[in-house]
Amino acid sequence: MTGHLSLGTRQFDLSRSIVMGILNVTPDSFSDGGQFDRVDQAVAHAMRMQQDGADIIDIGGESTRPGARPVSAEQELERVIPVIRAIRRESTIPISIDTSKPDVMRTAVAAGADMVNDVNALRAPAALQICAELRVAVCLMHMQGEPRTMQQQPHYDDVVEEVTDFLRQRYQACLDAGIDGDRIVLDPGFGFGKTLEHNLQLLDKLDAICALELPLLVGISRKSMLGAILDKPVNERLYGGIAAMVIAHCKGARLFRVHDVAPSRDALALCDALKSE
């Protein structure tokens, strides 16, 4: 993969992999304590991930895990905005906001976010237009259904073809809305309305999506597809997740959304050292 990604005022050269460190600010992700403690803890974790080699911090205030229930825009804003502001005071590291809600996109970007990471691929009314106006980078992810029910009966005739077609269409919709092509990232959405078999087919055929010649992001870290293969709980999926990430890199992915930044950075350093692709 050659080319680059424009993020804020920065240009990322895609010959070096990009690590997006996950910062969940959902209540279940943090131990109790007041809002102030939580903001402090979140900032400390973000700074740790930056030190470990993260290129982007991805902040999310609504869980999109299978079975998760939606939260209101007010709730989401209350969780993410203080954290974005606080990280901005400490660091210039690019921030992405993991949201599907136009109000949250707008407010998060005003608070300092540089990228919108949307598991709904900007399908909410006005989301495309807002991202075009804000001139932010966007990540368009494929999902079948919605988080609460998406794992009930995922169905595809050809998962690779359907995901690729969807991403191609959403990419075109972005261009039509006036979003710059060099600010668009695609993501097949591992675990989002997909059986284990669907996830494995996508991983195996990731090169088909890379044929669109756009930067590809994958998020596999700690997910249940690893749990199903390894038969291990969420805190014992690191090595399997690293293997999946290296496979994805070999097939052309260049951005990786991970919990464990330091080991991921090491694994990707090896991948990046092979300049043959």
Applying CB under 6 A, does 117 fall inside the site for ligand PT1? yes
By CB under 6 A, residue 237 contacts ligand PT1: no
What single-letter DSSP state applies at residue 186? E
Nearer to ligand PT1, 40 or 238 (CB): 238
Residue 204 Cβ vs ligand PT1, minimum distance, rounded to whole Å: 17
Query: Which stretches of the chain are DSSP H helices?
Result: 35-51, 73-90, 102-111, 127-134, 159-177, 196-204, 206-210, 224-230, 238-250, 261-273
Pairing of strands 10-13, 4-7: antiparallel
Q: Does position 119 bind ligand PT1 by CB under 6 A?
A: yes
**Beta carbon nearer to ligand PT1, 17 or 117:** 117
Q: What string marks each residue from 71 to 110 as x (binds ligand PT1 by CB under 6 A) or -?
A: ---------------------------x------------
Question: Cα–Cα–Cα angle for 112, 118, 196, nearest 5°?
Answer: 140
The reply to whether 264 sits near ligand PT1 by the rule CB under 6 A is no
- The answer to whether 46 touches 87, Cβ cutoff 8 Å, is yes
The residues assigned a catalytic role are 223, 257
Measured from the CB atom, is 40 or 146 closer to ligand PT1? Answer: 146
Interface pick for ligand PT1 out of 39, 217, 267, 268 (rule CB under 6 A): 217
C-beta separation of 273 from 243 below 8 A: no
Instruction: Please identify, using beta-carbon distances, which residue of 45 and 257 lies nearer to ligand PT1.
Output: 257
Position among 8, 66, 252, 263 found at the interface with ligand PT1 (CB under 6 A): 66
Burial 13-38 (b: 16+ CB within 10 A, else e): ebeebbbbbbbbbbeebeeeeeeeeb
Size of the site for ligand PT1 (CB under 6 A): 18
Instruction: Dig out the tokens for 154 from the structure.
Output: 């995922």
Q: Is 64 in the site for ligand PT1 (CB under 6 A)?
A: yes
**Residue 98, SS3 per DSSP:** strand
**By CB under 6 A, what part of segment 4-63 binds ligand PT1?**
none
Tell me how far, at minimum, the Cβ of 63 lies from ligand PT1, in Å: 8
As a whole number of angstroms, the distance between CA 240 and CA 25 comes to: 25
Q: Which residue is nearest to ligand PT1 (CB)?
A: 219
Question: Considering the rule CB under 6 A, would residue 190 count as an interface residue with ligand PT1?
Answer: yes
Q: At what angle do helices 159-177 and 127-134 cross, to 10 degrees?
A: 60
What residues make contact with ligand PT1 under the rule CB under 6 A? 64-66, 98, 117, 119, 139, 141, 187, 189-192, 217, 219, 223-224, 257
